[in-house]
A = this chain, B = another copy of it.
Amino acid sequence: MQHQLVRARAAARIASRLQRADKDRALQAMGEHIQLAADAILTANAHDLERAHTSGEPAHRLDRLRLDDSRIHAMVEGLHQVMALADPVGELIAAWNQPNGLRMEQIRVPFGVIGVIYEARPNVTVDTAGLTVKTGNAVVLRGGKEAFETNQALTAALRRGLEQADLPPDLVIMLTDTDRRSVDALIRARTFVDLVIPRGGASLIQHVVEHATVPIIETGIGNCHVYVDAQAKLEMALEILINSKTQRPSVCNAAETLLVHTAVADAFLPHAAQRLAAHGVELRLDERSLSIVQRNMPDTVWANGLFPLFTSVTAEDYATEFLAPILAVKVVASRDEAIEHIGRYGTGHSEAIVTEDGQAAHDFLTQVDAAVVYHNAATRFTDGFEFGFGAEIGISTQKLHARGPMGLRELTSYKYIVRGTGQIRS
């Protein structure tokens, strides 16, 4: 592996000096070679699927792994979209002159070598390579073992594209070890790797945080809340809640807990429970919300068996990113209690308040400490594309370097260039 990292470092050195046109030409060629290799990629993917099926992987994981012509086409389209974006490298962030005549410039530069650790979805291979090539970085990918053959086929095609464009193929390296030792080697390769981005579940992130010596960006753990304030428009609150919880429950920007102000709990919760029931969402309710829901739920809901399981909520539920059709519910006595609850259990990802009260919105937006705070909008918008970045490498939940959706710019660092005429320090 060290051999591969040395090659990545050498490739990164070359890539740091490329112009946008060179990099866009490479992205075009990478797309063409993905398309050319479509048959081989689908064959490799069929092998991965067969093995995954045999080893008893659940259906939703098989679906994430599966490629077809339209998914391959989408990968190529993704590369074309990145081509259309501006290149952040070389941007002059700041420039000034010091009284002693020194000319100072702060210039955006690539990181160098970026490691990305991820799980089943093979499109991440192509998306990530596109973003790192565009920003003049080399990438060392460590994909999941389920997608092993697919990732190898994709990487081979990407590297042929780089070669065709006269760029070093080692700008995209896929590690062939898929055990945890390769993760550990990557996150401790301080001389060779400038940044590691782990994309995956909480256990992967936790492992990387614990063992990395390379700087990392933590991504994607989202225990997100929707808070329905005393002054909320309840119809709006209902749509925002349903969208945040049910539009795609398995992703990090989906809501996991509903907080309702006590003044509107009686009016809001029965409707919310019915709509959530229709979406098959299990509710985990605090004492107050449980009593409201039981008292107000129309008999027809029970009779139709529409209402799913509901149970008493625990502190552990409040701390859990369900990533599933489960919602914790709590009635709060005040906006401060809502803010405090989020401070205790939130993961700093995405938090929403629904209210018509400007002061309430102001307090929530300023006091809640999260990457993205929303007023009267669903938490689901925390996404590079929805933010208009045109791309996304992940959602940062740390405060160092980048926060929230990370696009091209977040894959760069900067350097200072200082020009003098012989200045020395006195």
Contacts and interface: CB of A to CB of B under 8 A. Distances in A.
Interface stretch (A54-62, A150-158, A232-240, A273-281): A232-240
A423 interface: yes
Copies in the complex: 2
Contacts of A419: 361, 374-377
Contacts of A17: 366-367
A40 to B, nearest CB: 36
A418 interface: yes
A240 B422 contact: yes
A425 B367 contact: no
Contacts of A190: 209
A299 interface: no
Interface string A403-423: 110000000011111111111
Given A403-B415, A415-B372, A381 B102 contact: yes
A393 to B, nearest CB: 14
A420 B372 contact: no
Contacts of A381: 102, 418, 423, 425
Nearest to A401: B401
Contacts of A372: 415-418
A111 B425 contact: no
Interface stretch (A31-39, A210-218, A287-295): A210-218
Given A98-B386, A403-B416, A416-B403, A424 B369 contact: no
Nearest to A217: B400
Interface string A304-333: 000000000000000000000000000000
Most chain-B Cβ atoms within 10 A of its Cβ — which of A16, A240, A381, A388? A381
A370 interface: yes
A85 to B, nearest CB: 15
Contacts of A209: 190, 213
A425 B386 CA distance: 9
A17 B375 CA distance: 18
Given A98-B388, A400-B400, A400-B413, A373 B425 contact: no
Nearest to A253: B425
Nearest to A412: B399
A417 B376 CA distance: 11
A243 interface: yes
A422 B373 contact: no
Contacts of A239: 422, 424
A398 interface: yes
B403 A233 contact: no
A168 interface: no
Interface of A: 13, 16-17, 96, 98, 102, 104, 109, 111-112, 190, 194-195, 209-210, 213, 215, 217, 233, 236, 239-240, 242-244, 247, 343, 361, 365-367, 369-378, 380-381, 386-388, 398-401, 403-404, 413-425
Interface pairs A-B: 5 shortest CB-CB:
A377-B420, A243-B424, A399-B413, A401-B401, A380-B425
